[in-house]
Chains A and B, each alone.
Chain A
Amino acid sequence: MSLLDKQTDGLTPEEFEEDLKNRAHKMVEHLEKGNLKDAMQVIHEINEVRDKSLYKEIGRLTRALHEAIKNFHLDAGFSGRDKEQISSMADASERLSYVTKMTEQAANRTMDLVDESVPIAGDIAEKSKSLREGWQKLRKRQMKPTEFRELYHHIDEFLDTTEGKANTLYSNLNEIILAQDFQDLTGQVIKKVVDLVAEVEESLVHLVRMAGQLDTITGIEHRFDTKEKDKTVAEGPQMRAEERTDVVSGQDEVDDLLSSLGF
């Protein structure tokens, strides 16, 4: 019984293993009977099944790779000639740059408004303080007529300007709130990019799995060099810091660590 006759398209790795076992037994039988010619024929058949199965897997892998490339338009977009055909990857980087730009604008807008508001609040506080001092004097009846005229004038001026200043502060605070609207936009953009990354990951896992089938048939074992990661290379804000023991959880732990080092 030869699987090769029925299955000219090649075998799956599991079928191939089974087939190889059967043929190996057959080959040993031939050899024990001193039938070298038939034994050689079996070896030839094994090679043929192996080649065909290999071609089949390579074919599948190539198709999957092509699909992946097509799905993410990785082959287009970098020339910049066809804007419609922009690759998902180039699109994702563009989206993330947009997030950086939006958050920077919002931060600057907020700080501009705060910079504008701080002196106004300071001014109101200062004028109130001076008025309160005058008022105390008046209540204690320690005020001279010239000072009273001055206070009278100051109160007039204070009432005149404070309303306008409060209105400015009010509108600045509202604008600060509005400047946070980037959160909605960047949130949507980041979600899209996260979805894309998940899709790419899925495709890659699929490709790796298929490549693994090839390795089964060819009997190749990979030895992956595990690169020692530089422990102090900058990686930005550490994620899941509370679950990691190599990361401090806040300024207090930094201070503890530094003081243990003699700081």
Chain B
Amino acid sequence: MREVALDKNMKILIVDDFSTMRRIIKNLLRDLGFTNTAEADDGQTALPMLKSGGFDFLVTDWNMPGMTGIDLLKAVRADPKLASLPVLMVTAEAKRDQIVEAAQAGVNGYVVKPFTAQVLKEKIEKIFERVDASG
């Protein structure tokens, strides 16, 4: 696979209701060179952060109280300003119907927990390879 030139300074929002999972994802992203991250514990807190702008990438869990990840994804796609924001779902939800729904809602990548650093890296690279190709 060709090496993708990723912008290491891009601003990433990590959304998960468990602080330990947010920390794991944050550490993995840091190992990949992405240090510009922010955190939210569910869709309800994430959406206003996204709307206030500046984020280049969204990594979200599915199962969260308040607003779930799939609803957050739909809200993002419905917002003209956020519609093209790349979204990676990192979740324990592994039903085929769920993956299909996420795909139809416009997710850019889907990683099932438990996952490895390698898988996360691959998916992020793949997402931005496509974004680069289309944009």
Binding stretch for chain B, among A54-62, A153-161, A208-216, A244-252: A244-252
The reply to whether B112 and A248 form a contact with Cβ atoms under 8 Å apart is: yes
The reply to whether A108 and B20 form a contact with Cβ atoms under 8 Å apart is: yes
The reply to whether B20 and A104 form a contact with Cβ atoms under 8 Å apart is: yes
The residues of A that contact B113 with a CB separation of less than 8 Å are: 237
Binding stretch for chain A, among B1-9, B52-60, B62-70, B75-83: B62-70
Q: A104-B20, A107-B20, A232-B70 are in contact. Are A254 and B92 (CB under 8 A)?
A: no
Among candidates A104, A237, A249, A257, residue contacting B99 with C-beta atoms closer than 8 Å: A257
Judge if B119 is at the interface, Cβ distance under 8 Å.
yes
The reply to whether B27 and A254 form a contact with Cβ atoms under 8 Å apart is: no
Q: A104-B20, A111-B20, A241-B94 are in contact. Are A251 and B111 (CB under 8 A)?
A: yes
| Closest chain B CB from A101 CB (angstroms) | 12
| Closest chain B CB from A97 CB (angstroms) | 14
The reply to whether B95 and A246 form a contact with Cβ atoms under 8 Å apart is: yes
The reply to whether B119 and A251 form a contact with Cβ atoms under 8 Å apart is: yes
- A250 to B99 CA separation, bound complex (whole angstroms): 12
> Residue of B at shortest CB range from A100?
B18
The residues of A that contact B23 with a CB separation of less than 8 Å are: 107-108, 111
Q: A248-B112, A261-B103 are in contact. Are A234 and B63 (CB under 8 A)?
A: yes
The residues of B that contact A236 with a CB separation of less than 8 Å are: 63, 92-93
The residues of A that contact B10 with a CB separation of less than 8 Å are: none
| Closest chain A CB from B15 CB (angstroms) | 14
Among candidates A104, A111, A254, residue contacting B112 with C-beta atoms closer than 8 Å: A254
State which residues 90-135 of B face A: CB under 8 Å.
92-101, 103, 110-113, 115, 119
| Closest chain B CB from A102 CB (angstroms) | 12
The reply to whether A238 and B94 form a contact with Cβ atoms under 8 Å apart is: yes
The residues of B that contact A107 with a CB separation of less than 8 Å are: 20, 23
- A246 to B97 CA separation, bound complex (whole angstroms): 7
Given contacts A111-B20, A232-B101, A254-B94, 6 further A-B contacts (CB under 8 A): A107-B23, A231-B95, A238-B92, A248-B99, A251-B115, A258-B99
Q: Which residues of B are interface residues toward A (Cβ below 8 A)? A: 18-20, 23-24, 27, 62-63, 68, 70, 92-101, 103, 110-113, 115, 119
Please list the 6 inter-chain residue pairs (A to B) with the smallest Cβ-Cβ separation, ordered nearest first.
Answer: A234-B63, A107-B20, A237-B92, A231-B97, A232-B101, A232-B98
Q: List 9 A-B contacts (CB under 8 A).
A: A104-B18, A231-B97, A232-B95, A234-B93, A235-B63, A250-B112, A257-B99, A258-B103, A263-B103
